[in-house]
Amino acid sequence: MAYELIVPSPESSNDDGGEILDPLAVLLLTSHAHSPPLQPPPRLKYDLRSIDNPPKALRDSHTGVSKRLREHLLSHQDFNDLLDRVEADIRLAMSEALDAQDHAEAKDNEEETVLSVAAFCARGHHRSVAFVEELAAKSWPSGWEVRVIHRDLHKAKSTQKGKQHGRGGGSARKQVGGFDIVLGHD
Q: Could you give the 3-state DSSP secondary structure of residue 174?
A: strand
Which range, of 8-17, 58-67, 83-92, 134-143, averages the lowest pLDDT? 8-17
Which range, of 48-52, 87-91, 133-137, 168-172, averages the lowest pLDDT? 168-172
Average pLDDT, the chain: 80
pTM metric for this prediction:
0.74
- Distance of alpha carbon 142 from alpha carbon 24, whole angstroms: 8
Nearest by Cα to 27 from 151, 112, 120, 128: 112
- Could you read off the pLDDT of 114-168 as tens digits, one per residue? 999 999 999 999 999 999 999 999 999 999 999 999 999 998 876 445 444 443 4
CB 165 within 8 A of CB 157: yes
- Distance of alpha carbon 171 from alpha carbon 140, whole angstroms: 31
Report the pLDDT averaged over residues 70-91: 98
